[in-house]
Structures are given as C-alpha cells and as structure tokens.
Amino acid sequence: MQIQAKRRENTRIMGCIPVKRSCWHCDGLVGLVVLLSSCGTIPPGPGAQGSLPGAVLAVGGGGTPAAAVRRGLQEAPRPEGGPRVAVVPFASAREDRGLGSVEMWRKAGAPSVALVPEDEGARALLESADLIWLGGGSQSRLMESLERLDLVELIRDRHRAGALVGGTSAGAAVLGGIMISGDPEPDAYTGGAMAPLRSLQLIPGVIVDQHFRERKREGRLISALLDQPTGWVGVGISEATAAVFEGGTFEVLGDGVVLLLDTSSAQVDRGASGALQRASGVTLSVHPPGDRRELPGASGP
C-alpha cells in the first residue's frame, strides 16, 4: 500500500473560488460558495508534477472530533493563506445538507470553505480544493452522484496531487478499496451477502465501516472481508472517532476505538454464494485514540 507520508508545500495564492463564473465578492453570497478569504483569481491546484498523494481522513460518524478537524487542516496542502476546503454534501437529501460541515471547517480556521453544488459547477471547486470533505447520509447516493457528474476520477486526481480527502459516516465508507452499503443489512457470515460496490479506492485493499461500535457492525464487515481476496483489511471506526491513513499507517483520533481485521494470515473457505462462511486465522486488534499502526500489505484496488 503506497500512501506516502511526506507532504510537499504548495505556494498557490488564495482567492475566490468561481462557481459558474461567479464568486463571493466580500459583500454578498453568490451561488453556493462560502468564501472566507480575500477575493482574487484562483490559480491551479497542487501540481501533479512531483506531488505526493494526500492523507485520507475517515470519521465514523456521530460528530467529527476537534482533533480530526485540526489534523485535516494540518495535513492538507497549505498554499499562501491556508488550505481551501470543498464540502461535498451529495450523500444527504436534506435541504440544509453540508451547512454544518461548512461551519465546522470555518470555525476551525479554514480561510476558504466552499459548499459544492450537485451540478456542473462542482468540477471547478474540486479542481482547486486542497481538502475535499464528503458528508454523511447514504454512501450509495454519494457514489451515484459522483459518478453521474463524472467526479470520481477528478477526486482521485486531486488526492494523487496532494489534496487531503476525508469524510464522515457515508463519506468515510466510500474511501476504501470497495464500498459496502448495508442497505439492507446482510445476513452475517453468509457468502455474497455484502456486495462489493464501487468506491473512490483511495485506501487500496481496505474496507472502511462506520458507526462501528455503536451499531455492532462486526458481522457485516467480516462478511464483506471474507468475500475478498486474502490480504484485505477491514477497518471499523466508532462514532466521534477518526482514522488518518498516511504512509502505510493509520492513526486514531477522537473519543472511541478503531478495530482492525486482518486476513493476511487467514485461511478462508470461499463457498457458494448464500452458504455460511468458514475462516481461521483472521486477526483482530483494537486501537484507542493515540494509537498508530502499520497497515498490513493489503492487495486490491
């Protein structure tokens, strides 16, 4: 797993973020952009030339811990003036979707925060973002919207160019090598019960599950994991808890625990779809806040 640990500083100049050729001109709001810096023309985002992949920040829902927000701003590229945050609220159908995340990043000190519209205006915002934040709701709805607007590869490109990509709840579930939806909840420990769905694939060979401790999701994560090739890893994140993936490691922040399920030494009998699963040698480790752990050499997208 190649997620580089070192960051490269970027020296872009801050300015307004255009949406449909408009921006917030310091005296009013135009479109869906919340801009908190001085106005000007935005140069291109972190260059692909020589840039290292960004960190990935996955929050288990139930509120984003302050430590995770601070870490996100520290890990994101820092052009002159500070990182620009793009909040993607597509997982939710609420009228006020994303506004809480915008306020969260603003209060944390982000100099520029944009609420990304679910239309053709999204591309310009994401192309210049240093930190892309995916809100909660339905992970299936989120991925369907990103695919419909042709934004999946763009987000991957931004991550490869150094931007931090993170999310909470549904926004965390799309970060791994595959996505599981849990809609409906599967029969635990049954082969094929948890269909692997397309994801952003920012953490190869890893399945991220959220609300893990509170909703007792051990069965569904193990079921999904045993359907994948040996060597995949399951990461279950409690509410108000974050896992920061960087440089082949993850670090735990917040209030709860992160569970790591590792199949690299397991023997798995992959029977027929619908049959009960059989496995031995799957390892489990429990990590409270402050723990830092190397990820096994997971394989897969």
Distance CA 263, CA 268 (A): 9
Query: How many folded domains does the chain comprise?
Result: 1
**Cis peptide bond upstream of 184, omega within 30:** yes
- The pTM of the full predicted model, rounded to 2 decimals, is 0.83
Buried b (16+ CB within 10 A) or exposed e, 196-205: beebbbbbbb
CATH number, position 255: 3.40.50.880
Tokens 């999904």 found at = 224
Q: What 3-state class would DSSP assign to 130?
A: coil
| Residue 10 forms part of a structural domain | no
For every one of its 301 residues, what pLDDT tens digit does the chain have, with 9 covering 90 and above?
433 333 333 333 233 333 332 232 233 333 333 333 333 323 333 433 457 899 999 999 999 999 999 999 999 999 988 899 999 999 999 999 999 999 999 999 999 999 999 999 999 999 999 999 999 999 999 999 999 999 999 999 999 999 999 999 999 999 999 999 865 567 889 998 888 999 999 999 999 999 999 999 999 999 999 999 999 999 999 999 999 999 899 999 999 999 999 999 999 998 888 999 999 999 999 999 999 999 986 656 6
> Residue 296 and residue 115: Cα distance in Å, rounded?
36
What is the Cα–Cα distance from 165 to 154, expressed in whole angstroms? 12
Query: What is the rounded (10 degree) CA torsion for 197, 208, 226, 193?
Result: -50
Residue 170 near residue 181 (C-beta atoms within 8 A): no
Distance CA 28, CA 233 (A): 47
Amino acid code (one letter) for 239: E
pLDDT of residue 183: 59
**Short-list 129, 96, 108, 185, CA closest to 17:** 129
Say how far apart CA 234 and CA 152 lie, in whole Å: 22
Q: What CA–CA distance (Å, rounded) separates 225 from 270? A: 11
Could you count the other beta carbons within 10 Å of the beta carbon of residue 267? 11
Q: Which domain holds residue 44?
A: 33-291
Is residue 140, in this structure, part of any structural domain at all?
A: yes
Has residue 203 been placed in a domain? yes
Dist CA 201 CA 300 (whole Å): 9
Angle between helices 66-75 and 99-107 (to 10 degrees): 70
Tokens at 221, concatenated: 């994560």
Catalytic residues: 169, 211, 239
Q: Which residue has the tokens 């769905």?
A: 197
Strand 258-262 relative to strand 283-287, pairing: antiparallel
Is 272 within the bounds of a domain? yes
pLDDT at 62: 96
The span from the first CA to the last CA of the chain, in angstroms, equals 10
